[in-house]
Each structure stands twice: as structure tokens, then as C-alpha cells.
Amino acid sequence: MIGPVIGNVISSPVFLKRISVAFAALMLLAAVLAVAASVGETAIPVGTVIDTIANHLWDAGHPVDAIDAGIVWNYRLSRAIVAASCGAALAVSGAVLQALLRNSLADPYLLGISAGASTGAVSIVILGLGAGMLSLSLGAFIGAVAAFAFVTLLALQARRGTGAIILAGIAGSQMFNALTSFIVTKSASAEQARGIMFWLLGNLSGVRWPDVWLALPVAIVGLVVCLWHARALDAFTFGRESAASLGVPVRRVYAILIAAAAMMTAVMVSIVGSIGFVGLVIPHAARFFVGTRHGLVLPLSALIGALFLVCADVISRVIVPGQVLPIGVITALVGAPAFALILCHGRILR
């Protein structure tokens, strides 16, 4: 019974079209990743990048300079893939939260996650919690999860629906941010404070392959979970009650999707710090191109988010010679005007 149904779905023209579009999108992403790996303080030709990747993936045996290969494979490529995963995950989280909470200003950090992560990070770095056993990332992750748990409990206690979640998020964020400031101002040296500041604005410098094997699966699984609920998200267009009357199990969908968004955000923040702007704005950009249906909005948000963050990372590496800027500075600096352009164009087009 199921077999023929799947067969029909797979052979339908809509499905084939989607597969080819998805394939094209992945090719575009791969191309941008390759270019990102070639740009930097030492410019390496894209051909060398491709040869290096081929050598690593299927022992192609192309002759490549060992130092070039090392830069491409160990530093730039892993970094670019983490940037892509991170951009996709943050953008999808933002799109999901905006839909669920019916608030176009919702972003992944609304749930207190970045504030908690920063508290966790400074507890490790400045207070020396965990006595060197815990890494900064793990501390940030624990802090993020703790803050999310706090916000969730607060929201459940209030029991006032979407408004309660937003208010609980604000309360949680403020509290954990205050904790962070308290620790930094009380105990940090100037050097430490600067380092933390840098980390809070997003920092991909230390990223290596182990980070890829965490970020990439989390981004992919998160995207799949959210895509699976795309129609349920559409049903929230006119609010929770309306979604319920359309047959959506509201509480279950809320629990699954908020947990998915929180998980993705917590993992990304703990790897690269809290990069702003992506989760708030990319979903809106996606909606300008494909409308409001989440079957399209989610994958496009993921794609734009990934491309955007890879590019932002490249810019952060090259814009000031000899110095790497925090990526969060670039995302806002480049992203805000770009978004303004889309906004204005969108208004003219429609």
C-alpha cells in the first residue's frame, strides 16, 4: 500500500522539480564554499581548492602544495562549512519562531539562549569553573540550555500562550545578560573582557573539523524536523486556535519545534558565539522571494542563511588586512543595508 504511494510521489513532476531545485541549491552552496576556501590572506586558486578536496574525498592524487592544502582543508574549508551550518540553522530557527509566536521580530536568541551561553562562557573563562575540565564551548552550551530551561519553565508557569513565551524570554535574557556583565566587570582583566566581547559577537577563528561534525548534522537534522512540520507551521497563520481547528496538535508541534530551534541555536552559539541578525532577518528575506508557505520559506532561509554567513566570514577575514573582525559585526554591517534594499525593492515590485 505504502510502496505505490511513495512511487507516485517520487515520480510526480512537482517532486522531480523540487529535487532538481534542491540539487541546484546544493551545487551553488558547494561553489560558494570552494570560493570561500580560496579567498584569504594567502589567495589560493579555486582549482587548487577543488584538487585538495578531491584528494581528501577520494584520494584523487592531484599534486597540490602541502601548505596550500593544509590551509584549505584544515582551516578554511572546515570554517566555511561551520559558517554555512550555522547560518542555515539560525535562519531556520528564526523562521520557525516567527511563525509559531506570530511575531515578526522573534529571533533565535529570544529564548534566552545567547544570554545563557554568554554566562556559561564567562563562567568558564573568567571564573574558571570546571577547573579546566570544561571547554568554553561546553560551558556556553550548558549555559544556553540552562537559560532555555529557565525561560520555558517561566512561560509554562505563566500559561498565557505566545505572549508569555516572549516575555519570559525577555526576562531570562535580561537576567543572564546581567549575570554575564556582573562576572565580567567584577573579575575580568581588560584582556579577558576584550576576548569575551569578541566571542560574544561571533568568532569562527578556532573552528576545525570536529566542530563540523557537530554543526553540520545538527543543522541538517534540525532543518528536516522543521520541514516535516512545514504545513503545521502554515496552519499557524491565523493563530493557535485556528491551527487547532485545522487539525494541528498545537501543543506537540510547539514542543517539538521550539525544542528543535533551541537545540540548533544552542549548538551553534556554543561553537561560534552569538552571531546576530541572521536569525531575525534572513527569514524575512526568504519570504520576500517565495511568499509565506513554509515548505518554501524554510529551505530558502537555510540556503540564504548559509550563503550569507559564509560570505560574511570571508569579509570578516579580509576587510581589515592582518586582522579578523568578529563576524557579528559584518552580518549587521553588510546585512542591514542589503535587507533595506530588499525591503524597498519588494515594495516597488508589489
Partner 1 sequence: MTLELRDIVWSAGFRKIIKNVSLRVEPGEFLGLIGPNGSGKTSLMSVLAGIRPPDQGHAMLAGQDMKKHGRRKLARQIGFVEQQADTTDRLTAREAVALGRTPYLSMLSPWSERDDAIVNRALGDVDMTHMADRFWHTLSGGEKQRVHIARALAQEPKFLLLDEPTNHLDIRHQLGLLELVRELPVTVVAALHDLNHAAMYCDRIAMMRDGELVGIGSPADILTSENLRDVFGVEATIEHGPNGECAVRYHAGMKKDRAA
- Interface residues with partner 1 (CB under 8 A) are 2, 5-6, 9, 12, 14-15, 102, 104, 228, 231-232, 234-235, 237-239, 241-242, 244-249, 287, 291-293, 350
203-215 core/surface letters (b: 16 or more CB in 10 A; e: else): bbeebeeebbebb
Asked whether the beta carbons of 123 and 141 are under 8 A apart, the reply is: no
Return d(Cα 241, Cα 234) in angstroms, integer.
13
- Quote the least distance from Cβ 272 to partner 1, whole Å: 31
- Quote the least distance from Cβ 350 to partner 1, whole Å: 8
Q: Which is nearer to partner 1, 284 or 317 (CB)?
A: 284
Q: Which is nearer to partner 1, 41 or 241 (CB)?
A: 241
Q: Which is nearer to partner 1, 68 or 234 (CB)?
A: 234
Return d(Cα 154, Cα 165) in angstroms, integer.
8
- Quote the least distance from Cβ 221 to partner 1, whole Å: 16
Say if residue 234 is exposed, middle or buried (CB neighbours under 10 Å; 0-12, 13-18, 19+).
middle
Q: Report CA-CA distances (Å) from 14 to 17, 65, 228.
A: 5, 46, 17
- Quote the least distance from Cβ 24 to partner 1, whole Å: 21
Q: Which is nearer to partner 1, 2 or 66 (CB)?
A: 2
Q: Which is nearer to partner 1, 40 or 295 (CB)?
A: 295
Rounded to the nearest angstrom, the gap between the alpha carbon of residue 310 and the centroid of all alpha carbons in its chain is: 11
Task: With CA atoms as reference, report the closest residue to 85 among 196, 207, 195, 200.
Answer: 207
Q: Grid coordinates 500559561 are at which residue? A: 159
Q: Which is nearer to partner 1, 101 or 215 (CB)?
A: 101
- Quote the least distance from Cβ 287 to partner 1, whole Å: 7
Task: With CA atoms as reference, report the closest residue to 114 among 275, 274, 259.
Answer: 274
**Residue 150, amino acid:** F
What does DSSP assign to residue 106?
-
Rounded to the nearest angstrom, the gap between the alpha carbon of residue 327 and the centroid of all alpha carbons in its chain is: 13
- Quote the least distance from Cβ 335 to partner 1, whole Å: 21
Rounded to the nearest angstrom, the gap between the alpha carbon of residue 270 and the centroid of all alpha carbons in its chain is: 11
- Quote the least distance from Cβ 241 to partner 1, whole Å: 6
Q: Which is nearer to partner 1, 157 or 245 (CB)?
A: 245
Task: With CA atoms as reference, report the closest residue to 112 among 64, 176, 63, 68.
Answer: 176
Q: Which is nearer to partner 1, 64 or 243 (CB)?
A: 243
Task: Give the three-state DSSP class for 323.
Answer: strand
Say if residue 16 is exposed, middle or buried (CB neighbours under 10 Å; 0-12, 13-18, 19+).
exposed
- Quote the least distance from Cβ 284 to partner 1, whole Å: 11
- Quote the least distance from Cβ 253 to partner 1, whole Å: 10
Q: Which is nearer to partner 1, 14 or 43 (CB)?
A: 14
- Beta-ladder partners of 320: 323
